[in-house]
Chain A
Amino acid sequence: MFSNYSKLKKYLIFSILVGPAVLLRFSTSFYPIIRTIYLSFFKHNLMEQVHRYVGFNNFTSLLNDQTIVDVIGFTLVFIAVSVILQLVLGMVIANLLNTNFKGRKIVRTLNLLPWVIPVIVSGYVFRWMLNADYGLITDWIFRLSGKEVQLLINSFYARMSLILVNVWRNTPFMAIVLLAGLQSIPDELYEAAKIDGASWFQRFLHITLPASSSTIVTLGLFNIIWQIANIDIILGLTQGGPGSSTTVIAYRIYQLGMQWFSWGSASALSVYLLIIVAVISLIALYLYRRFEFSS
């Protein structure tokens, strides 16, 4: 429609339409990143009014700190386990929601509930349900197995609880994404495969997965990054403890930046986080390209 406009006019209208959104977004995303990278080379503590160039010092002292190394390790484990569980369970639920049954519409709506509750609220609710004295879940575990557990005091159980709460929270979203992917697969493909004698599992592997893979990869990627960046769940459930066993990188950045006001270290740790995110994005991009050509 605009093809018969002059080049100048096209650029002008394009800039007016697209400009505000792009300018606003870039100024609140790219610019802060550059500032963060810049700040990571300084020791900058707000309370003590310190601002001093220290080169790569922040980066090395972070890696020398065993606690930080553990935090980075746990972050990777946390995200890997969470995402795998979410994909698997999400796929199961998506298939469930794809079959015809009475009340399907209501169940689909209910499925959205964990996603729609503020994360901090679900963090607090689970914290209470897992409380050693008054917790609902602790009570059920006791009734079923006779064991009195203190889930949030033991570091292993605390980590497990965090992962499970995170999965509870995010699986519905994954399920919806996968469901949309499933729905775009024409039934004839399945019919043809059935006639050819393919088992349920083979149909899944060769039809369902490849066809929904582009959806899985794109939205899956953003979901992963949202989870890496999210501190609400930890703020609500464990506040990083016991010790620092349920602290993830993003939460540590929050502590360094907003509780201890050590902005140089917070920035350096942010750089590490950005590197991890970039690596994950590249992996996702690679997978996307591969699947695009193979379906």
Chain B
Amino acid sequence: MTRGAAGAAVLVLVLVPPLLTSNPFLLHLAITVLLWTLLGAAWNLLGGFAGQVSFGHSTFFGVGAYTTMILYLKGGLAPWYGMALGGIVAVLVSLPIGLICFRLRGPYFSLSTLAVAEIVRLVALNWEGLTNGPVGLLITTLPRVAWGGRILDWESKVPFYYMIATFALASMLATYRLSRARLGAYLLAIREDEDAAESVGIDTVRAKVLTLALSAFFTGLGGGFYGLYFRYVDPDAVFPIALSVEMVFIAVVGGLATVIGPVIGAVFLTTIGEMFRERFLVGHLIFYGLFMMLVIRYLPEGIWGGARRAWAKRP
């Protein structure tokens, strides 16, 4: 099967669901899955390809979310522009963060990103003039807008679905292009051995900074979408450590440094979470944790990685 056909298949699979079902909860779940796909894919660029394990991506998510909300609620700027700006502001924020954190390697890098994320969260919590502090920002009405000649119905899930599907697909496309480009090769070299990569003349700083910027952009975009779709943003919703960790889970459980991995990770983690919560009101996280452990134990390359390996072994 050619890459083009595979790409078309993915496109179709992603765009079809709203046509198949009008059940708003299923669409809500699908939107959630796509949002996590976007976030997982964004993290994957830096963590999977470049091997820089960040535990602070919630910084970019929250920055994107707050930018969108503040610009809309206080400045009247329509949220779609706000989302794009959210992504851009996240990129700008990523530059000093990269400057500070890329000086460090391995676990020190990871922990420094965690520290930055916590600092940003605490600032958002306390800087009430800008963020409204813990009270948060709430959208009650979205602007009337037409697309393709029809007024968009914000009560329906469909416009949101296509929005997030576009973003998720964009991130997957970016991942694909990156993996085929020279930058992708540089990143893998950096992941294997950064010093060796330096010694053969790769500008590792530039590579890492570029990748972080791209990663931050998509994460910020996701944050902006979160604000738009969930309508409410407070510091604990968009800056928690748990969010950063979840992004890592998705990329790893799905399959690091792959294009399809984040989708798979997002689907599995969301559905497993829903299924267990349905069955066990209090104990569901026990099974979630167990599932995580089992996947890592028996599919160390992630679900997609394991699937590919099994496929390759066929007689």
- Chains A and B come from one and the same complex: no
**B residues with CB within 8 A of A:** none
